[in-house]
Amino acid sequence: MAVITNAFEMAQRQFDHVASLLKLDPQVCEMLRWPMREFHFRIPVRMDDGTLRVFDGYRVQHNDARGPNKGGIRFHPAETLDTIRALATWMTWKCAVADIPLGGGKGGVCVDPATLSTSEKERLCRGFIDQLWRNIGPRQDVPAPDVGTTPQMMGWMMDEYSKLVGQYTPGVITGKPLGGGGSLGRTEATGYGVIFAVREAMRHLEMAPDQCVAGFQGFGNVSQYASIGFKEILKGKVACVSYWDREDRTAYTVSHPEGIDPRYLMTITDQYGSIDKKKALANGYIIEDGNAWLSKEVDVLIPAALEGQITGETVQAISKRVRMVAEGANGPTTPEADEVFKSRGIFVIPDFLCNCGGVTVSYFESVQNDMNYYWTKNEVLDRLDTKMTIAFEGVLEMAINEKVNMRDAAYMVAIARVVKAMELRGWL
């Protein structure tokens, strides 16, 4: 099989595989293999030195049969239309598997945001909306932050949109700052969502959560709250986390013989998820190389850093005790490593089911914006728990009934839901 490096070709190949399992009509496949709408526009921005620069902007709306499109906006110098197409396609499947009434979208601007001043960033954000505002909206397409964009940028974009339509419209964008239309619980959402899925998988596998040990890769937003949840919600032990050390430009694993205390480690971690290793060492922690997290004696592995981390090679180091892999990150497992998991009977909670807590609480944010009434953090997290539990059960049932693994089952659930919505709307 040829190695695919283009993300959109990969997304299409994954779709084709599951479409054949579902025996989907080729005409239906033709609709779902490609986005419904794509926008490519040029954004003129006056720079601080008085010159004019023109940036390329994109928005892709893959499929909105189940509701308004949903997905982030990336500011990245190497942004391509195909990357955005792939990410928009994956958003369609993620929203469908989470069973939230939204479709799939993604946007981007070719720019390195680190090269812009704050006021240039603001003008670029407003310019993005000036080009696109007719094609987004709470009932059309709801963007959010992603790589290179921040809650503050979402605040500017929401403000620009509100001015253009002539009314305060916070529901046009999610991921806004708290106090500026954001939702409580969004910070914890993805990590806690991972833990709700792990809890359900343990119930299925008859594992006692309080007897279980987990190892994590990464210590950023997802891993911080997933490790807190593993310790405080499941009462399990967290053997280690790993992180990318920004000073040494290498990865390390941080462990403790009695289990790590994620709340303490957060106090010595910077905004990029890099831990102060001198303070950790002074507090009895052990520092090892970046791959050590993978070979610890644990029951559960939670990769929550980057894509492509568990490969055909690194998977060999995994201990015999491991029974479950919960993919907090997007695409952390290569197809070769996935084969090893299958042959060893390791239960995998696939990425777009495992980390769908983030988009679920983004959906809650737009619901609260529409009502102009805001829930407490506990209300948000309780609703997240219900959604994650139902999503997990739906995929597990499909896996058991169709005798497929959880990854294929998640795709099957998602694609079947989108096809059904298209049928009900008379598109097919």
Best CA proximity match to 300, nearest among 392, 238, 385, 354: 238
Best CA proximity match to 196, nearest among 330, 356, 352: 356
User: 3-class DSSP state for residue 156?
Assistant: helix
Task: Give whichever of 137 and 290 is closer to ligand NAD, judged by the CB atom.
Answer: 290
Distances (CA, A) of 376 to 144, 174, 175, 359: 21, 17, 17, 18
Task: Give whichever of 142 and 421 is closer to ligand NAD, judged by the CB atom.
Answer: 142
| CB 86, CB 52: distance < 8 Å | no
Kindly list the residues in this chain that would bind ligand NAD in the complex (CB under 6 A): 190, 217-223, 242-244, 251, 273-274, 290, 304-306, 328-330, 355, 358
Catalytic residue among 94, 106, 176, 237: 106
Task: Give whichever of 329 and 409 is closer to ligand NAD, judged by the CB atom.
Answer: 329
Best CA proximity match to 185, nearest among 388, 401, 423, 18: 388
Q: How far apart are CA 73 and CA 88, in angstroms?
A: 10
Distances (CA, A) of 144 to 20, 48, 221, 295, 342: 33, 26, 16, 36, 35
Q: How far apart are CA 285 and CA 244, in angstroms?
A: 16
What is the nearest approach in angstroms of ligand NAD to the Cβ of residue 231? 17
Task: Give whichever of 111 and 305 is closer to ligand NAD, judged by the CB atom.
Answer: 305
Task: Give whichever of 151 and 155 is closer to ligand NAD, judged by the CB atom.
Answer: 151
Task: Give whichever of 174 and 242 is closer to ligand NAD, judged by the CB atom.
Answer: 242
Of all residues in the shown chain, the one whose CB is closest to ligand NAD is 220
Task: For 274-310, give one letter per residue: b (16+ CB within 10 A) or e.
Answer: bbebeebeeeebeeeebebbbbbebbbbbbbbeeebb
Strands (E) across 318-409 are located at 324-326, 347-349
Q: How far apart are CA 41 and CA 46, in angstroms?
A: 17
What is the nearest approach in angstroms of ligand NAD to the Cβ of residue 393? 21
What is the nearest approach in angstroms of ligand NAD to the Cβ of residue 70? 13
Task: Give whichever of 32 and 353 is closer to ligand NAD, judged by the CB atom.
Answer: 353
What is the nearest approach in angstroms of ligand NAD to the Cβ of residue 343? 25
Within 8 A by CB and 6+ apart from 147, the residues are 72, 74, 75, 76
Q: Helix, strand, coil % (nearest 5) of the chain?
A: 50, 20, 35
What is the nearest approach in angstroms of ligand NAD to the Cβ of residue 401? 27
User: 3-class DSSP state for residue 320?
Assistant: coil
What is the nearest approach in angstroms of ligand NAD to the Cβ of residue 392? 16
Question: Would you give the DSSP letter of residue 333?
Answer: B
User: 3-class DSSP state for residue 45?
Assistant: strand
Q: Is 121 a catalytic residue?
A: no
What is the nearest approach in angstroms of ligand NAD to the Cβ of residue 303? 9
Best CA proximity match to 125, nearest among 109, 105, 106, 142: 109
Catalytic site residues?
A: 106
